[in-house]
Amino acid sequence: MPSFDSDQAGPATATRGETVTPAATTAPAAPPRVDVGTRPIFVALDLGTNNCRMLAARPDPRGGFRVVDSFSRITRLGEGLHDTGQLSEAAMDRTIDALRLCARKMARHRVVGSRMVATAACRHASNAAAFLHRVQTETGLRLEIIPPDEEARLALAGCAPLLRPGSLGAVVFDIGGGSTELMWVAAGDPGAAALPAAGGVIPHAGVGHPAHPLGPRIVDMESLPLGVVTVAESRGGDLCDQAYDAVKTDVRAALTAFDRRHGIAERLAVGDPIQMLGTSGTVTTLGGVMLDLPRYDRDSVDGLEVDFISIAAVSRRLRRMSCEQRARHPCIGGERADLVVSGCAILEAICDMWPVGRLRIADRGIREGVLIDLMRAAGVMA
């Protein structure tokens, strides 16, 4: 996909000029209301365990918003965190370098509202407060560590337009670097889950927003302390078959209580219509590999629906490849090569627990949810 930074790595979420529509719930503290005619720009930044991502967008007169700038870089902020409980100096240096570039991009725009969130790595690191102080001192950016339930809400807000109508509920998940956020979502109003229309305009979907009370909503969520970085580091890097199966067993065990609370497997066994939606680098990477794309293309992957048999086949294919072979794949690259197999193990465990049969892939999530919150709070989006 097009890159707006020379050092961008891995698939980003949205391309410049793309229009995205809302799917958010409760907004953060409201920024000053602005005049739509002034063409304001809002910024969302998501600092995860593995990636630093930013989107800058302005409200679109047709509804939703239009991306004007983006940034994505793999910084591996959480590297070594599993063993030491702290963010390493090297990881913090890499991340601050990326955040400086984000700050420079923001300075080029008339930004009227922004929110910059940090997730699992900063939640768990004992030196996170010192790191955030250093970020503010060296870049001017003020990061906010959000809890798992807010992370899940924002992820759903960003990807809910891809939920299909007509199901009893949905399993929605985000496989991150340091954790996996899992949601059981009530289906909501069929009119709030339409497919993307032509021309890059994605129809409206509301998630528990007062104006859209029948939209998809989170019934329950679980944050599993299992992400691609934490799994890879705890298992010593690339997973052999035995380690791969062990990770799947661990994930299924961690999902058991969540499943029992809602009887999801039992509902599937009697034929209840349930869908599955995944958003993360793992699922988007698998989508690109599955399509044999010569280079990652967000338009081809976002909204792609794949069957579980194909997921298992691609996972086996990636496990049989060496790390060097995966690094040469145009949809993986060197910075994901040693992590993608860990993601496959987590994904396959979710599929085994709930054999829905098909997964829909979302190349969107937290940043889109943040932007929708900001624009609604500023009164420039319905």
Average pLDDT, the chain: 84
Specify the CATH superfamily of domain 164-362.
Exopolyphosphatase. Domain 2 (3.30.420.150)
pLDDT digits (tens, 9 = 90+) for 213-237: 456 889 999 999 999 999 998 887 7
Residue 100 token pair: 């400086």
pLDDT for position 187: 72
Measure the CA–CA gap between 93 and 233, rounded to whole angstroms.
20
Provide the pLDDT confidence category of residue 282 given band limits of 50, 70 and 90: very high
- Any idea which of 21-25, 162-166, 300-304 has the lowest mean pLDDT? 21-25
- The class that CATH gives domain 19-149+366-377 is alpha beta
Instruction: Give the residue with greater pLDDT, 300 vs 197.
Output: 300
Provide the pLDDT confidence category of residue 167 given band limits of 50, 70 and 90: confident
pLDDT for position 226: 92
- Any idea which of 121-125, 206-210, 212-216, 331-335 has the lowest mean pLDDT? 206-210
Compute the average pLDDT of residues 237-245.
Answer: 86
pLDDT for position 214: 54
pLDDT for position 188: 63
pLDDT at 53 over 90: yes
Measure the CA–CA gap between 379 and 7, rounded to whole angstroms.
35
Prediction pTM value? 0.81
pLDDT at 25 over 60: no
Residue linked to tokens 């922004």:
114
**Domain residue extents for the chain:** 19-149+366-377, 164-362
pLDDT for position 223: 93
Q: How far is CA 345 from the centre of its chain?
A: 18
Question: Cβ distance 82 to 226 under 8 Å?
Answer: no
Same fold, 19-149+366-377 and 164-362: yes
pLDDT for position 121: 95
pLDDT for position 63: 79
pLDDT at 17 over 60: no
Surface-to-core class of residue 35, CB atoms within 10 Å of its CB (0-12 exposed, 13-18 middle, 19+ buried): exposed
pLDDT at 191 over 60: no
pLDDT for position 240: 85
pLDDT for position 21: 44
